[in-house]
Amino acid sequence: MSKIPKVSPLTIDKLNANVVNAKYAVRGRLAIRAEQLKATLAEGSSTLPFSKVINANIGNPQQLDQKPITFYRQVLSIVEYPQLLEKPEASIIYKADAIARAKKIISNVGSVGAYSNAQGIQIIRDSVASFIEKRDGFPADPHSIFLTSGASSAVTMLLNAQATGNKAGFLIPIPQYPLYSATLTLMGASAVQYHLDEAKSWATNVDEISQIVNKAKLEGIDLKTIVVINPGNPTGTVLPEENIRGIIDIAAQHEIVIIADEVYQENVYLGEFISFKKVLRKMQQEFPGKYDTVELASLHSTSKGMIGECGHRGGYMELVGFNKEVVDTIYKLAAIQLCANVPGQVAVELMVNPPVKGDASYEEFTREYSHIFNTLKHRSSVLYKAFESMEGVSCQAPEGAMYLFPQITLPKKAIEEAQRLNEVPDEFYCLQLLEETGICVIPGSGFGQKDGTWHFRTTFLAPVDDYAAALTKFHQRFMDKYRD
């Protein structure tokens, strides 16, 4: 093996401090430790008290037991190898509608091995526009749609475009998905935090946001954007229309852009998803002129929903109400990275344009889709009940997304022990959970939480009965050990 010299000239103190300071808990310390434990288990001779690691730290359904939806994968399989259509056996392996869809894509896209237009393939943007129109009952413009590498690259482009320095403020929810805080740190911009209200199912508090906006302005912060995650990550909350109206109102009043992270729009188990775009268009109709210049970027992804195709890194963003020169600038950012991967773009096409009644795959698709939906709903409910039964744990009922974010009232002794070890208390809890059970969750401190409260985020993707039992048992042991 190569010998890595002990000290090369480039040391961490010489690196970009923004990069060094950025934090990303979803794949941070807990996740890295989980990888080490997996490697130990793979060696075969471990004395660990568990036989497998359960990655409940990341919304990655197909890493656990979720099967891909057959129709999606049949089409992707054909577009990767179009020559198979020349073989008569193809029609035995692939359903007729998968073949027809693949042919349509191939005839429009050509090879998936070619770079596409930097903004994404035209016919797929057309499909996205139709999907949005059908969802909202308001038109969408394919020219305002960008196909992106998951939602992450959309976030990077949007924040980068407005990151004018440390006086540039971006309102982000607390708790939040740490992509936002990490990206703002990378870009040397300021995160301006607004708290979601745990007592009200983690709803947004429009009055508090207004106060924060005014305070930030007084402090010389140039507010650029408000980020809203709906359904919430990590909270799982589905925002009511009233909340969305309140945020649009603030955006209009203070001339700030809205980033609506709506990647969990299909993961709704209680209540109803309403898009920011739809509410904005309604408000524009109700109050002519008042909301015409509101700027909204809405994000979606193939990683979530029932498609769950994380590894394909597909996504889109719709830019509503932006000036053309701003859209052109974002186009340039996309072009510098050439294009989003093309199979991922095809996955977007499939997500927004699934089989319909009468198609050969329709029944199978519906069965698979419902199975995934029902499984997620069931697991969220079992896990929620488990949390409700645990000592010192409270949890909002699961409404959407793939997560629960229970609050744990940690015993004083546990907090003291954590402090003695120079650990954040919720990380101390999560590390013990990992070491004792192989379950990897993320401490609330990775997302942000009110001072003095402790949480963790778990997905409800893992097979739930054993998982809930192991969590419950661990929690009881932990509480017994540190009981005041």
Which positions ≥6 away from 427 have C-beta within 8 Å? 29, 30, 418, 443, 445
The contacts found for 424-427 with CB under 8 angstroms, 24 or more apart, are 425/454, 426/454, 426/455, 426/456, 427/29, 427/30
DSSP 323-389: -HHHHHHHHHHHHHT----HHHHHHHHHHHS---TTSTTHHHHHHHHHHHHHHHHHHHHHHHHHHHH
Residue 51 burial (10 A CB sphere; 0-12, 13-18, 19+): exposed
Find the part of the chain contacting a second copy (CB under 8 A) among 292-300, 348-356, 395-403, 410-418.
292-300
In the complex, least distance from residue 78 CB atom to a second copy, rounded to whole angstroms? 7
Is residue 430 a contact point for a second copy (CB under 8 A)? no
Tell me which stretch binds a second copy (CB under 8 A): 107-115, 405-413, 427-435, 439-447: 107-115
Please select the residue that binds a second copy; options are 44, 49, 218, 325, rule is CB under 8 A: 325
Which residue number, 36 or 419, has a Cβ lying nearer to a second copy?
Answer: 36
From the list 50, 138, 362, 373, which residue makes contact with a second copy (rule: CB under 8 A)? 138
Q: Report if residue 96 touches a second copy, rule: CB under 8 A.
A: no
**186 contributes a contact to a second copy by CB under 8 A:** yes
Segment contacting a second copy by CB under 8 A, of 211-219, 335-343, 401-409, 446-454: 335-343
Interface residue with a second copy, options 117, 130, 353, 381 (CB under 8 A) = 117
CA dihedral 366, 369, 370, 373 (to 10 degrees): -160
Output 160 or 472, the one with its CB closest to a second copy. 160
63 binds a second copy (CB under 8 A): yes
Q: Which is nearer to a second copy, 138 or 205 (CB)?
A: 138
Contact 126, 299 (CB under 8 A): no
37, 99, 112, 404: which one contacts a second copy (CB under 8 A)? 112
* DSSP secondary structure of 407-436: EE---HHHHHHHHHTT--HHHHHHHHHHHH
Place of tokens 């490697």: 39
- Least gap, CB of 387 to a second copy (angstroms): 26
**Residue 288 makes contact with a second copy by CB under 8 A:** no
Stretch that binds a second copy, among 137-145, 388-396, 440-448, 449-457 (CB under 8 A): 137-145
Stretch that binds a second copy, among 44-52, 78-86, 260-268, 422-430 (CB under 8 A): 78-86
Residue 477 has phi, psi (to 5 degrees) of -60, -45
Q: Which stretch binds a second copy (CB under 8 A): 134-142, 240-248, 383-391, 438-446?
A: 134-142
User: Which one of 169, 173, 236, 344 is in contact with a second copy (CB under 8 A)?
Assistant: 344
> Which part of the chain contacts a second copy (CB under 8 A), choosing from 72-80, 210-218, 262-270, 468-476?
72-80
| Cβ neighbour number for residue 247 with a 10 Å cutoff | 23
d(CA 336, CA 348): 21
For 8, 29, 79, 300, 465, the CA distances from 26, given in Å and listed in that order, are: 30, 9, 33, 19, 24
Which runs of consecutive H residues, i.e. helices, occur in 137-226? 152-162, 179-186, 206-218
Residue 344 phi, psi (nearest 5): -65, -40
- First and final C-alpha spacing in the chain: 51
Distance CA 128, CA 352 (A): 6
Amino acid at position 443, single letter = P
**Which one of 70-78, 208-216, 408-416, 448-456 is the stretch in contact with a second copy (CB under 8 A)?**
70-78
Question: Could you tell me the CA-to-CA distances from 49 to 52, 423, 432, 435, 439 in Å, in that order?
Answer: 9, 23, 12, 8, 11
CA distances for 80 relative to 74, 83, 111, angstroms: 10, 9, 8
Which residues, numbered 218-277, are part of the site for a second copy (CB under 8 A)?
A: 255, 257
Span of 307-315, 354-362, 387-395, 406-414 interacting with a second copy by CB under 8 A: 307-315
> CB 161 → a second copy: shortest distance, Å?
5
Interaction mask 141-170, a second copy, x per CB under 8 A: x--x----xx-xx--x---xxxxx------
- 355-394 positions binding a second copy, by CB under 8 A: none
Task: Give residue 358's identity as a one-letter amino acid code.
Answer: G
Asked whether the beta carbons of 351 and 307 are under 8 A apart, the reply is yes
The residue within the footprint of a second copy, chosen from 127, 183, 235, 375 (CB under 8 A), is: 183
The reply on whether position 74 binds a second copy by CB under 8 A is yes
CB-nearer residue toward a second copy: 60 or 432: 60
Contacts of a second copy in 5-24 (CB under 8 A): 5, 7-12, 14-17, 19-20, 22, 24
The single residue among 48, 80, 435, 436 that binds a second copy, judged by CB under 8 A, is 80
Binding footprint of a second copy, residue count (CB under 8 A): 105
Q: Which two three-digit tokens encode residue 217? A: 């302005």
| Minimum distance from residue 244 beta carbon to a second copy (Å) | 18
Among 52, 87, 200, 378, binds a second copy (CB under 8 A): 87
